[in-house]
Structures are given as C-alpha cells and as structure tokens.
Amino acid sequence: MRIDLHTHSSVSDGTDTPAELVRRARTIGLDVVALTDHDTFDGLDEAAAEGERLGIRVVRGMELSCSRQGNSVHVLAYGADPASPGLAAEMARVRDGRLGRLAGVLAKLAELGVPVSEAEVMAQVGDSPSVGRPHIADALIDAGHVRDRQEAFDRFLADGGPAHVHRYTIEVERGIDLVHGAGGLAVIAHPWGRGREYVLPSGVLQALARDRGLDGIEVDHQDHDLETRRRLRAVADSVGLLATGASDYHGIGKLDHELGCNTTDPEVFNEMERRLESR
Ligand code: AMP
Ligand code: FE
Ligand code: FE
Ligand code: ZN
C-alpha cells in the first residue's frame, strides 16, 4: 500500500487539476491519495469522482492556514465536513485575507523594482478561490523578473522577506478545534520544515496532543532532513501522535516534492480511518 496524504491542485497553488492529480497518482501506483488544497474544499468532488472512475482511494483533505505567535503553521484536515459552519466561516475569512493582502505585496514588489499588476497575478490564479504567494511568484516569472518560484520566494516572498505581508490566519489551537468540530482529524503539516522548530518546539507539540487532541504530525516531508525526521518521530512516539508522511506535491510548482516521494505507513492510515469512522 502506498499512501500520499498531502497534495495540492490548481484549486489552490498546485499546477495539476484535481482530476489530473488523481490520474497521476494512479499512474505512479499510489493506492491512496489525499487532496489537501490550501483553505478550500473545492477540488474534492472532482478528485473523488476521478478516483471512483480509476479505482484509487481519494481522501478528502484540506490544509488550513494557522499560526502561533505570528508565525505560520499549517494544519492538515482529513475528513472534515465542508458544511460545518464554524470551519467554513473561518476558511472564508482566511481566503478573504489572501486576496486582501495582494495589493500590499504588489506595492512592495513595485518599490523593489519588480512590478507586476493585479491582473497579471489574477491570470495565474484563474478560478482558484485561494490566492497564494506561488501565484504571485508565477506572475514574477512571466514578467521576466525571476526564473522560478524558488527564486521568487528567496528574493522577495518568503516569510519575513522584503515583499512579505501578513494575512489573516487562525490560532493553531483554534484551528485544531475547528477541524475536530467539523468531524475531521487534525495533523500538523511539516512542523519543523525550513528550520522552523522554534515555532512549534517539542513541548508545544506534546501539549497540543495532550490538551487539544491533535491527531498527528507530518514527519516524513521533503522539508525535514533525516535527523529532523528522527527527532520528530520521537516526539510523536512520546505522546501517541500519529506520524504521517507525504509529498506536499504542487505539480511543477515545487520540483523537489514529486508525488509519492514520501508516504504514510498503512498502519497509521488504518488508525486514521478508525478514528474517522468513530466520529
Ligand atoms: P501562502 O499560501 O500565500 O501563504 O503561500 C504559502 C505557499 O507558498 C506554501 O504553501 C508553499 O507552497 C509556498 N512557499 C512558502 N514558503 C516558501 C519558500 N520559502 N520557498 C518556496 N515556496 C514556499
Ligand atoms: Fe502551497
Ligand atoms: Fe504547507
Ligand atoms: Zn501543502
């Protein structure tokens, strides 16, 4: 069984449509794939329909934009009900914040000598309801200012970078509660990716497990080196958190995150299914 529980489609900042993503999962021999677009459930029906057609299991997911002490934290939700009013309202607020931030980022980019227009960014966004920095990066590429998304982040868009603007996010404790309130499982994505262990030190992860019922943490992820994975797995084991693994595939938007490059142990996935059935 090969199980990839974290992927993005063109419904947020990936480049494959949901159906294309599921076809690719089937082609490379995955048995289970979760679609986890940022702050939206909009791709799930299309992905699920393609999964039924091809006979591959599609898990309904979403990656919720949260934060702790002003630093970004991503919470993966599995099996959450899109109609849950509390969660839906907060997701709408986050998406509004994504759009609301755009003018500020564009003003900074213009000042930095790499102007792109709102129309150029919205052409990249297409009909995605979730405007992301990768879309701004793609506009910078098309304008000839940078070669690829990575350069756009490294020079301008990364957290704390010269064109970074904060947007509305949900406190991580509340994000976990909202996901649980919608009947879903909450797993923190790439908790220590990009050297950000200080945002969620091990004691905080353990407290989220004990006090908030956090279900799991993503351990096997491209942004974690082997030593980081080993230490995160020890944190998970210390409090009974499920340790997941996934690609965080973004199509051609993140070339070192190929679909299926990290996977989740079938035992862990079985436990996730047991918990979802009992909710
Ligand atoms: P946003 O959703 O607008 O906050 O943008 C965050 C997204 O941009 C993440 O989900 C990644 O896909 C990508 N991203 C964030 N930080 C970086 C980085 N330093 N380098 C490359 N991509 C990044
Ligand atoms: Fe992303
Ligand atoms: Fe993420
Ligand atoms: Zn992701």
Per residue in 63-72, pLDDT (tens digit) is 999 999 999 9
Q: What is the CA radius of gyration of the chain?
A: 18
The ligand whose atoms approach the alpha carbon of 7 most closely is 4
Determine how many CB atoms are found less than 10 A away from the CB of residue 210.
12
Instruction: Place 38 in a pLDDT band, splitting at 50, 70 and 90.
Output: very high
Ligand 1: nearest atom to the Cα of 63: 10
For ligand 4, the distance from its centroid to the CA atom of residue 6, given in whole angstroms, is: 6
State the amino acid at position 226 in one-letter form.
L
pTM over 0.95: yes
Helix 44-54 vs helix 18-27: crossing angle, to nearest 10: 30
Judge if the beta carbon of residue 14 lies within 6 A of ligand 1: no
Q: What is the mean pLDDT of residues 79-89?
A: 97
How far is 130 from 149, CA to CA, in rounded Å?
17
- The confidence score (pLDDT) of residue 253 equals 84
How far is 209 from 100, CA to CA, in rounded Å?
33
* Residue 184 confidence (pLDDT) above 90: yes
- The confidence score (pLDDT) of residue 255 equals 86
The gap from C-alpha 135 to its chain's centroid, in whole angstroms, comes to: 15
CA angle 180, 11, 89 (to 5 degrees): 40
